[in-house]
Structure 1
Amino acid sequence: MIENEPPELPRGIALAWGVAANPQRGPKREMSVERIVEAAVDLADAEGIGAVSMAAVASALGFTPMSLYRYVSAKDDLLLLMQEHATGVPPESTRVLEGWRAKLLALYTEQVLLYQRHPWMLSLPITGSPITPNSSAWLDAALAALDGTPLTAEERVAVALAVTGSARWCGIVQAGYTEQSRGSGLSPDQVAVREAELYDRVITPEEFPALRSAIDHGVFTSPADPFRFAIERVLDGVTSYMAGLDRGAAHEQTTEWIELDPAEVAGDRRLRDAQKAVREAEKALRDARKVERQALRDAGERLARTRR
């Protein structure tokens, strides 16, 4: 083995880049990786990711599952290619805008729309950096938007990830409301009203004072977009940080990741038992405080009646 030889590309990634070997023999009728992936995406868009199987895709194309395996040898590879196809490339309009902030906000908006068009993408696990061409193009566009800023390479990636993460979180929530709408026959606005009514029944000011106040202010039926507000404030922070760098401030270096304790990762039985005991104690404390609050309310009502 040659020392320092680069790792071989997994077949799914090689297919995405168009460098995988084509099958020597295939079905007599026209077949290609592109047709397989397009059919799978159409199926996922119409019925959800749970409807996608090699047999279902083969049936949609009029072939046998074994015919597909000559082109895409594993379902995981198919899912990767589906995500790549649905992702596409960032619209050129996002690159011609003036200023890094306008470009990043445009990329954020386009990613939210992407998740609305293909909500099944949100159920696919994130297994690493975006190594496929289209996914790489989105990251490249975000980094290109930050060209000319005083941010370091690491900081530019961090900002790009913040934008992508915000878009994904917005997509997850919106996809959930859309799914509720489909299942209940209610419009998204009606789903929000029903949700607010359910909160109204169970959230008390004694137990959840801050949340109760938010409900009373109508946050669940407000037309305001909390996700857009959040990403705008994130970019406000980046703007302020850049201004400090322009004035000569030092870059903030954060190298500590949030990680589980190795003993917890290893599944130590004593640690799990201790954590379970803590959770049970915390639940008992919450229950006791709930009983205390109810007792105070009852005592207050009795006192009020005696004063009448």
Structure 2
Amino acid sequence: MVTDRSSAGDPARTLALLWGGGGVPSGRRGPRQARTVPEIAAAAIGLADAEGVGAVTMRAVAQRLGLSPMALYTYVPGKAELLDLMLDTVYAAMPRRTPADGGWRARAAAVADDNAALYAAHPWVAEVATGRPPLGPGLMAKYEYELRALEGLGLGDVETDAALSFVLGFVQSCARAAADERAAEQESAMSDEQWWAGNADLLAKVFDPERFPTAARIGTAASEAHGAASSAAHAYAFGLARVLDGLAALDRAPDGRPSDGPSDGPTGGSGRASGA
């Protein structure tokens, strides 16, 4: 269950923090600040990368920085605002690629791959609910870039926003599936292939292939192809191509013909995107 949400703090303080207005206005004189807001964001992100977003508390971040928890509050109002700062910081630092061919399909695939790379580097980001996103400079730069990637698709403004949400929602779903794979491997100390091999005899005792012939045939083929019941990387590559095919169905060139039709790969050719 998602328990961490962006924009859960005080809006005025959050926006002041994200846009350079500082942390908590105190109205009183105090000791000279020994840390910067970017240093605090980096410490919190490092903690989340290593231990998950649940490990990020004001006390834990303060300890990483050699501060007292009360001192940290002079920079950041609280955990909710800190989470927005963390998100906006990783958004601002995202690598953004612009494919040489300039077609919308290649640009949209690049947007998907860039977000997949973000989740791979910072898995905790996929766990945060962002229905009310932190409207900081990092997010706005990301949103602007990603909307421009869909220019030329022939959609209206509302449809363009929905198309971007469609692409990003798919990537986030794949990122969560990949995180589940990693978590299962860590908890069991076995890869998926090892786990299935170790439990094959138990499954054979209860599973009747004559009763479930389609599941037996296709499940066997998939497990042989992936070395497990499923593959997050394969699901990402296959699904992204289908997502782009779906957007292509909305695309119309001035002469009324689709300007970029379905393909075997997400970029319009036979190339495969990297897994989430």
Name stretches of at least 5 consecutive residues in structure 1 with no aligned partner. Answer: 1-7, 250-308
Q: How far does residue 214 in structure 1 lie from its aligned partner after superposition?
A: 2.9
Query: What stretches of structure 2 of length at least 5 have no aligned partner?
Result: 1-9, 259-276
**Which residue of the partner structure matches residue 13 of structure 1?**
15
Q: Which amino acid aligns with 2:12?
A: P
Contact kept, 8 Å, 1:193 with 1:220, in 2: the verdict is no
Contact 1:180 1:191 (C-alpha < 8 Å) held by counterparts = no
Aligned partner of 1:55 in structure 2 is 59
Match in the other structure for 1:41: 45
Q: Deviations over 1:67-94 (max 9, x none)?
A: 0111111210011111111233443423
Greater Cα radius of gyration, structure 1 or 2: 1
CA contact (8 A) 1:37 1:78 kept: yes
The whole-number CA distance in structure 2 between the counterparts of 1:97 and 1:205 is: 48
Paired AA for residue 14 in structure 2? G
Q: State the partner residue of 1:258.
A: none
Which residue matches 2:75?
A: 71
For residues 93 and 131 of structure 1, the distance between their equivalents in structure 2, rounded to whole angstroms, comes to: 22
Q: Write the mapping of 1:116-127 to structure 2, written as runs, cut at 5 A.
A: 116-127=120-131
What are the equivalent positions in structure 2 for 1:52-201 lying under 5 Å apart? Answer: 52-94=56-98, 97-129=101-133, 131-187=135-191, 190=194
Cα pair 1:16 1:84 within 8 Å, conserved: yes
> What is the TM-score normalised by the length of structure 2?
0.74
1:10 aligned partner, one-letter code = A
The one-letter amino acid of 2:176's match is I
- SS of the equivalent of 1:128 reads coil
CA distances 1:15-68 after superposition (whole Å, capped 9, x unpaired):
112234664545445122222111111111111112211111111111110101
Contact 1:195 1:220 in 2 (8 A): no
> Does the 8 Å CA contact 2:115/2:168 hold for their aligned counterparts?
yes
Q: 1:209 to 1:26 in 2, by over 3 A?
A: farther
What is the root-mean-square deviation of aligned Cα atoms in Å?
Answer: 3.2
Partner of 2:256: 247
Distance 1:83 1:191, change over 3 A: farther
C-alpha distance in 2 between matches for 1:167 and 1:94? 18
Higher relative contact order (CA 8 A, sep 6+): 2
What CA distance in whole angstroms lies between the structure 1 residues aligned with 2:85 and 2:236?
Answer: 29
Higher helix share: 1
Q: How many residues are matched?
A: 242
Quote how far apart the aligned CAs of 1:161 are. 0.8
Alpha-carbon separation, structure 2, partners of 1:141 and 1:192? 42
Q: Distance in 1 between matches of 2:65 and 2:130?
A: 29
What percent of counterpart residues are identical? 34
Change (3 A) 1:11 1:22: closer
Matches of 1:12 and 1:230, distance apart in 2: 36
Contact 1:16 1:132 in 2 (8 A): yes
